[in-house]
Structure 1
């Protein structure tokens, strides 16, 4: 469960993505691998709000094109095991948080994985122990959480049926004070909530929220997950944990998904699927993080995610014969320091070059959205591309422009992802 106090703070110089230089052959991430990084938090265990309708939860996930969720282990609330079984049978893969009764948590998770084999994608230690302290075998505070994590790690790896199921680390301890996660976690784990309506990775004042989180865990030499990330859609002015409007939420969430994937984060769980309860007077920030409103209507961020997954899942009937190596050589000219790129490759051999520019998107003094001129970037493919289609998932799943038989194109890169779907030209004859 989210708490504002769990924010990642500080500064770092990490750039999650290095723009392509002249002549670089960039290895593309398979589209399926990218789609598997997209995940979301749910609260199936909450039966006094929007999550009580588990059918809506399943429908919403399918509509978004997301199958990985993070939730409390069955038995942590009033929801019956059948609710989790229903979602698992629809293809949902769970990362389950442990509660203080570790034995009971593992028993419940085992029951689900037995009912629907493969439905448990990961198991995670305690959540934000700095905000919800735990006790363990006479220990309290951080020591209790770290000791309990070692037990979770050992018991999951010793449990029949969980071969290959990774253990995510607990959250809420200070990595600077803990030197090793050996025999404690398979994945390092962080929560990232950009403050003041700022961008995830780059802000003109020097704040780099996601970069700081990633840097802080590098010493563990483990793959990384981000199990909470997001923005709440309740526009606010001031300082610290500020809400934004729905269009800005959509920009921030999509940029965060892209930043994380480009930085090698295995999976990013946006907080959260649904606004849990009605809050018409905007008195409770926590009731506005959803991709869907409390009445289950999609916000702009939900439309943007659906557009993104639809674009990436669409393939041609005939595979592109070229680019068998999975790499594309291209040059980006005019990319500002605030801009990032990510190269993906579809099953049919086409490439998707994603460009986004993390200029300021929120005026915290006024509590209103900001817009900046797009960055004018020239893309040079080195050789002729037979087709380049441009998509803006924040607008539509349909292309906004198309080009044929081009070597170079100029694109206006906005403050959110722009997708260039590239069909390479035929290789030259020898």
Structure 2
């Protein structure tokens, strides 16, 4: 829940509301009371706070701070907010969201504020009731993604949280739609923000209508998901249905690793969209919608958008398939059993297709259980295949030495089972490499006439090996690394020479490879491409010392992340983190930041004893 902290004179009321509703708080500051008093209120709610946000839509609401006004005041207030949050013993671990502008042209006046926020902050509203992304695009990008790119102008290399978004259910206003279309568009906005634009969290504006509007002509009064008297609007019902169907309360919901599912959609229109999710109980949730124009602006009425028949061709047979219409409820509209392909009608709002149950293996196929080598260490691979005109054959090597002979796969991909291949050895502490070589590929020109080999997962001494899921679609080899013994040692690196020393503490999320980056001072790169070693959360960090003769005054250090990778979940993500920066032993303010995508972050530093600019 998002709330303006300066207007809340009773934090106890806000605490009671949040605890009763079971929600966390995103608190944003205002510019009409002192920052110190607002930080004090936020600290009193620290256990309920998920994030702290800068001032709202500063182009329209204005900012006054420390004798400044306009863009200069907004910059200084965002900086002071970030420093106050990170210095607070109660709030230092809370992310800070960038201020919002309310006007794209204002970004240029604000300049680069990357150092003073952990997240960019787009406000995604749509002119004339256009859907997201639908018919309106800017710079070749869908509108929702365009707004994210705009916001990242002042928050470079940072992910986005959209703290306002939505549609007004005022059908007689030029930018409004009907309550029924608001329900469709809000659903699609949330799905598009996550799937297309990578927005980590989106806040719908707002919970309740601001007041009754019998005429349906007031834009500002009708953004709520509930009417002003507390009755749910169609938007609230549709959102409840969608989140209920996508909810995962399983004990492993936050830790399990999703498994890919191959599927084809035949007949999906150009405006059609799809998103695949998996629950921790193994069931898949396929969300489909048609991102068509559902509102006729000229006639001020809902458009007639016929549902489109789409055939879903799955790669395996599921025991139970249920189809849900999120505008109708959370009871399945259709249920199928033991099917691999079927046809559904895709409307201009979300439908959810739940795929669950044990798949039916091909008759006579028993998965293989193979053990190779001997020793105290154990590498276990789960293997499947596409067995067109014969079974896939392969070999396994560790550290360049083949273990055993030629192996033949048995289990079919999509059957719900896999071969278990255990490779034993005594490999000792440190990094090792397993290589799987596919020997007898065959292809008849179509996806159904193809022989392939798949490694569905690898574990080493019972620990999951990152990057252990891959397919081999032609003859060749894939190698994956694994660690034996204690965690890797942090790197100690020195670059350049001179009397001044800039020291960075660096960590990473090393999914499918280590993070790589460069460092430049005053626009000049020092050294070559660096590779992170220490893992975030391991208690250690790489120490990178950059030396030079930079002289008195302020200087700029730029860290550029080069090889981001993301597999769709927090556990399948490669990121780079700077845990702290010092210059000639003095701590550099703003020297803690993360790079979640390729790009650069620049920080301003000065000689020890000189204030940070």
TM norm. shorter chain > 0.5: yes
Q: Which residue of 1 aligns with 2:79?
A: 150
Whole-Å separation in 2 of the counterparts to 1:324 and 1:97: 34
For the 8 Å contact 1:276–1:287, the answer to whether it is kept is: yes
Whole-Å separation in 2 of the counterparts to 1:284 and 1:165: 37
Inter-CA distance 399–179: structure 2 relative to 1 (3 Å threshold)? same
* Aligned counterpart in structure 1 of residue 135 of structure 2, from 199, 203, 213: 203
Mapping of residues 47-62 of structure 1, within 5 Å: none
Q: Which residue of 2 aligns with 1:86?
A: 16
Q: Which has the larger radius of gyration?
A: 2
Whole-Å separation in 2 of the counterparts to 1:130 and 1:399: 47
* Aligned counterpart in structure 1 of residue 149 of structure 2, from 204, 212, 215: 215
Q: Which has the larger helix fraction? A: 1
Inter-CA distance 129–218: structure 2 relative to 1 (3 Å threshold)? closer
Whole-Å separation in 1 of the counterparts to 2:321 and 2:190: 23
Whole-Å separation in 2 of the counterparts to 1:246 and 1:325: 36
For the 8 Å contact 1:197–1:361, the answer to whether it is kept is: no
Q: Does 1:330 align with 2:259?
A: no
* Aligned counterpart in structure 2 of residue 343 of structure 1, from 276, 281, 286: 276
Residues 137-176 of structure 1, C-alpha deviations (whole Å, 9 max, x = no match): 2322122112211111111011111132100000116345
Q: Which residue of 1 aligns with 2:171?
A: 235
Residues 303-336 of structure 1, C-alpha deviations (whole Å, 9 max, x = no match): 111112222237799x9xxx97532221222222
Whole-Å separation in 1 of the counterparts to 2:26 and 2:136: 35
For the 8 Å contact 1:330–1:379, the answer to whether it is kept is: yes
- Secondary structure at the aligned position of 2:299 is classed as coil
Q: Which residue of 2 aligns with 1:129?
A: 58
Whole-Å separation in 2 of the counterparts to 1:158 and 1:205: 41
Q: Does 1:352 align with 2:285?
A: yes
For the 8 Å contact 2:130–2:136, the answer to whether it is kept is: no
Query: Displacement, 1:282?
Result: 3.9
Structure 2 unpaired stretches of 5+? 368-613
Inter-CA distance 331–283: structure 2 relative to 1 (3 Å threshold)? closer
Q: TM-score, length-normalised on structure 1?
A: 0.76
Whole-Å separation in 1 of the counterparts to 2:55 and 2:248: 38
Q: CA RMSD of the aligned region, Å?
A: 2.4
Q: Which has the larger strand fraction? A: 2
Whole-Å separation in 2 of the counterparts to 1:285 and 1:324: 43
Which has the larger displacement, 87-96 or 251-260?
87-96
- Secondary structure at the aligned position of 2:58 is classed as coil
For the 8 Å contact 1:167–1:185, the answer to whether it is kept is: yes
- Secondary structure at the aligned position of 2:163 is classed as strand
Q: Does 1:188 align with 2:120?
A: yes
Q: Which residue of 2 aligns with 1:417?
A: 350
Higher relative contact order (CA 8 A, sep 6+): 1
Query: Displacement, 1:198?
Result: 1.4
For the 8 Å contact 2:49–2:94, the answer to whether it is kept is: yes
Query: Displacement, 1:366?
Result: 0.9
Mapping of residues 231-310 of structure 1, within 5 Å: 231-236=167-172, 238=174, 242-262=175-195, 263-282=197-216, 284-310=218-244
Inter-CA distance 131–315: structure 2 relative to 1 (3 Å threshold)? closer
Residues 171-210 of structure 1, C-alpha deviations (whole Å, 9 max, x = no match): 1163456663332110000101112121111227888321
Mapping of residues 99-138 of structure 1, within 5 Å: 99-100=30-31, 101-113=34-46, 117=47, 119-138=48-67
Aligned residue pairs, count: 349
Inter-CA distance 361–150: structure 2 relative to 1 (3 Å threshold)? same
Whole-Å separation in 1 of the counterparts to 2:238 and 2:131: 17
- Secondary structure at the aligned position of 2:127 is classed as coil
Whole-Å separation in 2 of the counterparts to 1:83 and 1:209: 37
Query: Displacement, 1:235?
Result: 0.8
Whole-Å separation in 1 of the counterparts to 2:327 and 2:293: 17
Q: TM-score, length-normalised on structure 2?
A: 0.54
Query: Displacement, 1:223?
Result: 1.0
* Aligned counterpart in structure 1 of residue 26 of structure 2, from 77, 95, 106: 95
Query: Displacement, 1:375?
Result: 2.8
